[in-house]
Structure 1
Amino acid sequence: MVSDGSKLSLRALLHYLWDQAGLTRWEPGFAGKRSWGTVRKHLLQAAEHKIARGESLRSRLYIPEVFTVEQRDQLNARRLGHWRHAVAAPGRPQQLMLLIGEVKEIVPARYGYRAVIKHVPDQAFALDEALYRRLGRRFEAELTLWGATDGVRMLTIATFAVNETGIPTIAELSLMAVTLQWLPVDNLFEMQLVDRLVTERRSFIKGLRYNVSPSTVVATAALIDTGDRPTMLFVSSLAEAARWGTDRESREQPLAATWCGIT
């Protein structure tokens, strides 16, 4: 989804909700307690009283409940009831819903392609070939990271409609890689930094880009256990690290630490 600079893109909306839900914050006491159920609860709370395109965001937002075999029928019934807003019907405009979920796989189907979302085992989401091809080009870095390490989860935010046969079809989507603690990362170097901070039992807030271009320098994380002022951490290539060193005196806030990765 393309942003015009004044509106949030799908990815920026996901970043906003992640921030509002407190999911960018990490403290040692969170270890072992941040499950999908916890993530879902905080995202739904963050969406309360938010308006998107003149309507309640919460009413259009679908975040899968934690799946259990014992509650399969009840979960499917609640899901279909929630999706009724997006079912195509004669004489009324097609309504879109917003999905946030963890991707299990995005693969070719018998016809077109399908996205399988964790905790929704009984219903895949359809997408056409053009969207599938754009996905590989636009999110090559995220998909490569996801495929290369077991320590990464893949989140999606997508708009979707439900056709006359009941099949949910994705119109637009964006992806966000996160660590096993659900902390967003853009690349392997950020993941290494975040994993180290978690292992060393540091308290920090993970920085997000929203609509900011990849060429703009933003803090990867802010340590909040270093006294009165947060300590900003940056991930950079060696070339960027050298440039930051020469620019440091001109910054309003001093660069406290730099995590360098060779690219």
Structure 2
Amino acid sequence: MTLVSFDGVTVALTEVQDNPAKYARALERAKKAPGYAVCRCLPTSPKTPLRLVIRRYGSLFHLARWPDDGHRHNPKTCSFYRAASEPARSINDTLAAIRTIACGLDVKLSTSLSVRTVDQSTRLSSHATPGAMSRRAAPLLGFLQRVWEEAGLNEWTGAPSRGWGTCNAQLVSVLGDGKLNGKPMQDVLHVMRRYDDADGSCVLAELRSFLDRIKTTPAKADRALLIAELRSVEPSKYGFVIKLRQTYETFFASKAVIESAVDSFRSAWAMIGEASARVVVLAVIERTKEDNLRIVDLALQLCNSTFLPCDSSFEVAMANRLVAERRRFVKPLRLEQGDAMLPDFKLTDTTVPTAIEVYGMQGNAQYMARKAEKQALYAREGTPCVEWMPPIDLASVQLPAAA
């Protein structure tokens, strides 16, 4: 358990993440003086404290890793840890779709946040400079997974559990005061807060205030993004109704949007409503002329019960077992070219990091070829590897003991 100190109090980090409203005033005072909080994951001297950035997000405050200080944290227990040899992705790529900046993330999405008339769009596009090198744009799922990785939510340090409150805190601390398609991040992206009875009215008021910014006029339709846990998708008279956890707000989607989601995110779609899994949605929202909230595009990320990203129901089962056994591990995310050969999971609590492969598509020629390539790679590099090939019982798979 990681402890943090600010404004004369020392509490568990998870307590601050799950109850941000309770500590808002104390964090606001600490942000003014001395200008930071302190992580207590390791003993330090008063002259070299493990400082944490205090970032404001809406009316609340969240803790983030101090720049270039991640390697000083406890690698076994602290979510603020980042190895010194583990630079941020695309840090020196000026054309990268997602860049890490001092105040958060600078993101260019492939999705437009404002849809204008044809005539206006034509005039705007005519000002583009011919031959100019344009910045790449990230798809919705690529953005969602990148934020998950930056927030350290693809890593597990042996804790017994993790809820949406922790996810929210780590996500907004990474997003910070960044930019999304040139606009202030907090103006166009909302990460749904964990609902609790003591602060429920504030949670709903924040969401309502954010959604009220989405306007549709005869000239244009403004859009915004929402990250939340998906509860259900139900057919309706005119399409589908999408329901999210933490709120009773209703969102609609067309048949075409849902059919595209089913085709693009098959593993996640099949696990909606399953008790052993979580499905996170990044939704692009606009208003109809009738003032209803409509989802015009979305990405789904399948997770295990503690919000670790997974690629299949079999990976969900493996991740749940590793969490139940209090193992330390990471789920590498395949975000760039060259990431295809990453393991499904990697145990970090063994003497030598151990790869875990979940081979769940026996009989697919292309999949089997990549399996053989991975096995050859592990043998060539001497990497220990644990394999599970469903439908073999997961309980029969022997894991190496933790060091």
Q: Provide the C-alpha distance between the structure 2 equivalents of 1:68 and 1:220, rounded to a whole number of angstroms.
A: 34
Mark the runs of 5 or more structure 1 residues left unpaired by the alignment: none
Q: 1:124 to 1:210 in 2, by over 3 A?
A: farther
Aligned residue in 2 for 1:233: 356
Q: Aligned partners of 2:241 and 2:257: how far apart in 1? A: 11
Instruction: Indicate the larger mover: 230-239 or 179-188.
Output: 230-239
Aligned pair 1:57/2:185, yes or no?
Answer: yes
What code does the residue aligned with 2:323 have? V
CA change 1:249–1:213 in 2 (3 A) is closer
Query: Does the 8 A contact of 1:222 with 1:230 survive in 2?
Result: yes
Residue 157, structure 1, aligned to residue 286, structure 2:
no
CA distance in 2, matches of 1:74, 1:106: 26
The alpha-carbon distance between structure 1 residues 245 and 129, as it changes in their structure 2 partners (threshold 3 A), is closer
- Following superposition, the deviation at residue 211 of structure 1 comes to 5.5
- Does structure 2 conserve the Cα–Cα contact (< 8 Å) formed by 1:99 and 1:159? yes
Letter in 1 for 2:204: N
2:229 is aligned with 1:105: no
**8 Å contact kept, 1:9–1:211:** no
Q: Which has the higher contact order (CA 8 A, sep 6+)?
A: 1
Q: CA deviation at 1:183?
A: 0.7
CA drift at 1:197: 1.6
Q: Identity of counterpart residues, as a percentage?
A: 21
Residue in structure 1 matching 2:256, options 125, 130, 138 = 130
> Could you tell me which residue of structure 1 aligns to residue 160 of structure 2?
31
The correspondence of residues 67-78 of structure 1 with structure 2, limited to 5 A, is 67-68=195-196, 73-78=201-206
Maintained 8 Å contact 2:160/2:326: no
Report what 1:223 is aligned to. 347
- The letter for the 1-side match of 2:350 is T
Q: Deviations over 1:191-238 (max 9, x none)?
A: 232122222221111112236699x332212222224x5333332256
Matched AA of 2:344? T
Moved more, 98-107 or 136-145: 136-145
Whether 1:244 aligns to 2:374 is yes
Q: Is the 8 A contact 1:158 1:173 kept in 2?
A: yes
Residue 357 of structure 2 aligns with an amino acid whose one-letter code is F
More moved, 187-196 vs 82-91: 82-91
Runs of 4+ in 1 over 6 A off after TM superposition: none
Give the TM-score normalised by the residue count of structure 1.
0.83
1:35–1:146 Cα change, 3 Å: same
CA contact (8 A) 1:218 1:234 kept: no
Kindly state the Cα deviation for residue 67 of structure 1 after the two structures are TM-superposed.
2.6
Q: Which has the higher helix share?
A: 1
Contact 2:271 2:279 in 1 (8 A): no
Tell me how many residue pairs correspond in the alignment.
253
Equivalent residue letter for 2:160 = A
- Please tell me the residue identity of whatever aligns with 2:194: V
Between the aligned partners of 2:195 and 2:281, the Cα distance in structure 1 is 18
SS in structure 2 of the partner of residue 86 of structure 1: coil
In the alignment, structure 2 segments of 5+ residues that lack a partner are 1-108, 112-134, 363-367, 392-403
CA change 1:71–1:198 in 2 (3 A) is closer
Distance in 1 (alpha carbons) for counterparts of 2:382 and 2:282: 35
Using a 3 Å threshold, how does the CA distance of structure 1 residues 41 and 247 change in structure 2: closer, same or farther?
A: closer
Moved more, 46-55 or 17-26: 46-55
**Partner Cα distance (1:88, 1:2) in 2:** 21
1:97-143 per-residue CA deviation (whole Å, 9 max, x = no partner) reads 1111111111112322111011111x211111111122222222222
> Contact 2:230–2:281 (CA<8 Å) still a contact in 1?
yes
1:192 matched to 2:317? The reply is: yes
Does 2:306 correspond to 1:181?
yes
RMSD: 2.9
**1:209 aligned partner:** 334
Tell me, in whole angstroms, the C-alpha distance in 2 between the residues paired with 1:56 and 1:230.
40
Instruction: Tell whether the 8 Å contact from 2:226 to 2:282 is kept in structure 1 after alignment.
Output: yes
Conserved in 2, the CA contact under 8 Å of 1:157 and 1:173? yes
- Is residue 168 from structure 1 mapped to residue 293 from structure 2 by the alignment? yes
Indicate if the aligned counterparts of 1:179 and 1:185 stay in contact, CA closer than 8 A.
yes
- Flag the structure with larger Rg: 2
Out of 16-25 and 162-171, give the one that drifted further: 162-171
**Structure 1 pair 76–199 and aligned structure 2 pair: CA distance change class (3 A):** closer
